Structure 1
Amino acid sequence: MDLEMVMQELEALGKERTKKIYGSNGAREPLFGVATGEMKPIAKKIKIDQSLAEQLYATGNYDAMYFAGIIADPKAMTEADFERWIDSAYFYMLSDFVVAVTLAETDIAQEVADKWIASGEELRMSAGWSCYCWLLGNRPDGEFAESKLTRLLELAKNTIHEAPERTKYAMNQFIYTVGVSYVPLHEHAVETAKAVGPVEVNKDKAKSKFLNAADTIRKAVDKGQIGFKRKHVRC
Structure 2
Amino acid sequence: MNLESVMQELEALGKERTKKMYLSNGAHEPLFGVATGAMKPIFKKTKINQALADELYATGNYDAMYFAGIIADPNAMKEADYERWMDTAYFFMLSDYVVAVTLSEANIAQEVADKWIASSKELRMSAGWSCYCWLLGNRPDSEFSESKIANMLDLVKSTIHEAPVRAQYAMNNFIYTVAVSYIPMHDKAVEIAKAVGPVEVNKGTKQSKFISAAENIQKAVMKDRLGFKRKHVRC
Q: Which residue of 1 aligns with 2:8?
A: 8
Does residue 1:208 correspond to 2:208, yes or no? yes
Q: Which residue of 1 aligns with 2:80?
A: 80
Paired with 1:210 and 1:17, the residues of 2 have a C-alpha distance of 28
Paired with 1:120 and 1:162, the residues of 2 have a C-alpha distance of 11
Q: RMSD value over aligned CA atoms? A: 0.7
Paired with 2:207 and 2:121, the residues of 1 have a C-alpha distance of 25
Map 1:83-94 → 2, pairs under 5 A: 83-94=83-94
The letter of the residue matching 2:159 is: T
Q: Which residue of 1 aligns with 2:108?
A: 108
Q: Which residue of 2 aligns with 1:70?
A: 70
Q: Which residue of 2 aligns with 1:145?
A: 145
Paired with 2:9 and 2:204, the residues of 1 have a C-alpha distance of 38
Does residue 1:227 correspond to 2:222, yes or no? no
Q: Which residue of 2 aligns with 1:159?
A: 159
Map 1:27-106 → 2, pairs under 5 A: 27-106=27-106
SS in 1 for 2:200: strand
Shift of 1:45: 1.2
Residue deviations 1:143-184, cap 9 Å, x none?
000000001000000000000010000000000000000000
Shift of 1:204: 4.8
The letter of the residue matching 2:120 is: G
Q: Which residue of 2 aligns with 1:135?
A: 135
Paired with 2:207 and 2:76, the residues of 1 have a C-alpha distance of 44
Paired with 2:207 and 2:172, the residues of 1 have a C-alpha distance of 19
The letter of the residue matching 2:179 is: G
Paired with 1:69 and 1:95, the residues of 2 have a C-alpha distance of 11
Map 1:193-204 → 2, pairs under 5 A: 193-204=193-204
Paired with 2:73 and 2:109, the residues of 1 have a C-alpha distance of 14
Shift of 1:207: 4.2
SS in 1 for 2:20: helix
Paired with 1:153 and 1:207, the residues of 2 have a C-alpha distance of 27
Gaps of 5+ in 1: none
The count of aligned residue pairs is 235
Shift of 1:202: 2.6
Residue deviations 1:81-105, cap 9 Å, x none?
0000011100000000000000000
Shift of 1:206: 1.7
Paired with 2:224 and 2:179, the residues of 1 have a C-alpha distance of 12
Shift of 1:205: 3.5
SS in 1 for 2:232: coil
Paired with 1:70 and 1:41, the residues of 2 have a C-alpha distance of 12
SS in 2 for 1:210: strand
Gaps of 5+ in 2: none
Shift of 1:203: 2.6
Residue deviations 1:94-120, cap 9 Å, x none?
000000000000110000000000000
Paired with 2:179 and 2:196, the residues of 1 have a C-alpha distance of 14
Q: Which residue of 2 aligns with 1:190?
A: 190
The letter of the residue matching 1:160 is: I
Paired with 2:55 and 2:190, the residues of 1 have a C-alpha distance of 43
Tell me the TM-score normalized by structure 2. 0.99
SS in 1 for 2:90: coil
Tell me the TM-score normalized by structure 1. 0.99
Paired with 2:112 and 2:78, the residues of 1 have a C-alpha distance of 10
